[in-house]
């Protein structure tokens, strides 16, 4: 049934796209594409510098997320790593996204986007108007912004702070979490500016309400998971502890409706 539904959505979207008359001019397309290319380069370079090539990130990620405990949930078809190397480049994409989602930081969904958008918008009112025009008339950009908006709406840095406290090195913890917080706030700020909203998902009240209604159920599971992780990191072992951790991992994934 799921495969049939996905096929229906794909066919419907393709037919809708083909049926729409071309409404943009070549020079307009060129401006949009140039803006996208410029912002893409900015976001990529920022992400590489702050995340992929940052020596602090791997240690923080391993300690401030339950990525090391995902095996107990038994929901993956492959190991978290491609080989024996313990570097960031050897980690598969799914546990990378899963770990950030479980810890409520949701970093891969938004990190770097705010930096690129804000730098582009800072050049002047003309650039801000172009971003708003693209949001209105450029489907790719519209979907990008709305997906980032959902990612930031699902993040919860108050809960994430509890996960960050699992990192024993206080200096490392503060360097990384402060960097994450600053970029999150920048992303939220520029998304609201471009969309003209006063809060995230203001124009999608159904999804906003859905996320809000899940929080009373997901937040306690996150706090329980942090407590269980603290016990495990302190050296406690046992099938009951691993079973409880697996239950929180599955519960949070189901509650947030994201697995990675």
pLDDT at position 27, please? 74
pLDDT at position 29, please? 84
pLDDT at position 18, please? 66
For the chain, residues with pLDDT lower than 70 are 1-2, 17-24, 74-89, 258-260
pLDDT at position 86, please? 53
Q: Give the burial class of 245: count Cβ atoms within 10 A of its Cβ; 0-12 exposed, 13-18 middle, 19 or more buried.
A: buried
Residue appearing with tokens 């409520």 = 104
* Whole-structure pTM value: 0.85
pLDDT at position 223, please? 97
pLDDT at position 180, please? 98
pLDDT at position 156, please? 97
d(CA 201, CA 96): 25
């Amino acid at each position: 049934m799921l495969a049939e539904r996905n096929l229906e959505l794909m066919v419907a979207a393709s037919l809708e796209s083909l049926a729409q008359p071309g409404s943009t001019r070549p020079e307009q397309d060129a401006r949009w594409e140039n803006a996208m290319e410029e912002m893409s380069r900015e976001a990529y370079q920022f992400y590489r510098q702050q995340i992929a090539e940052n020596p602090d990130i791997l240690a923080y990620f391993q300690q401030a997320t339950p990525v090391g405990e995902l095996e107990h949930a038994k929901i993956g078809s492959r190991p978290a790593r491609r080989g024996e190397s313990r570097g960031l480049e050897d980690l598969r994409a799914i546990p990378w996204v899963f770990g950030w989602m479980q810890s409520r930081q949701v970093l891969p969904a938004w990190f770097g986007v705010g930096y690129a958008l804000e730098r582009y918008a800072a050049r002047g009112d003309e650039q801000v108007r172009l971003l708003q025009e693209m949001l209105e008339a450029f489907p790719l950009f519209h979907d990008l912004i709305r997906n980032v908006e959902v990612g930031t709406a699902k993040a919860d840095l108050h809960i994430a702070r509890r996960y960050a406290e699992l990192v024993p090195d206080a200096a490392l913890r503060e360097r990384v979490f402060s960097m994450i917080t600053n970029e999150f706030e920048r992303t939220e700020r520029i998304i609201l500016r471009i969309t003209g909203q006063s809060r995230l998902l203001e124009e999608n009240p159904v999804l906003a309400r859905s996320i809000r209604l899940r929080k009373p159920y997901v937040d306690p599971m996150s706090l329980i998971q942090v407590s269980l992780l603290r016990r495990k990191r302190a050296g406690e072992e046992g099938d009951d502890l691993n079973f409880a951790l697996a239950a929180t991992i599955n519960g949070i994934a189901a509650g947030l409706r994201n697995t990675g």
